[in-house]
Amino acid sequence: MDDLFYILAIVWAVFLGLTIAASVIFDKILRRLHRTAHDTWVEIDKPCGFFWWPRDASWAYGMATKWRVYLDLQGKAPAWITADADLTRWHRAFVILTRIMWGGVVVFLLLIVTAMFL
């Protein structure tokens, strides 16, 4: 049982690191969009980041739109991303990190279920 605890702790730590890294990249994408294509940022309802909050965004509304944009970006890149080489590279990293992260969630939950039956 002690070994399983250490495995769960390691998986959780990796999950946490991937979550923070994906959040930083997401913020970087939004910050670039806000700075270089402000009209597009307004069109997608002024989303805020996890660690980045622009002055011209509503706190509550920005939080709600953040999650919609976060989930949308896990799929195919929108045109405003493919138009910029840096955004395309950051988007690719974001997608890879979030997919690994969600895989980590599944592994973590499977380990917890396994621990319940030991």
Sequence ranges of the domains in the chain: 2-116
pTM here?
A: 0.85
CA 32 to chain centre: 16
Q: For residues 12-48, b (16+ Cβ closer than 10 Å) or e, as one string?
A: eeebeebbebbbbbbbbbbebbbeeeeeebeeeebbb
Contact 1, 115 (CB under 8 A): yes
pLDDT tens digits in sequence order for the chain, 118 residues long: 578 778 878 888 888 899 999 999 999 999 999 999 999 999 999 999 999 999 888 877 788 899 999 999 998 899 999 999 999 999 999 999 999 988 888 888 888 888 788 7
Kindly give the residue spans of alpha helices, DSSP state H, lying in the chain: 2-36, 38-43, 59-72, 79-82, 85-116
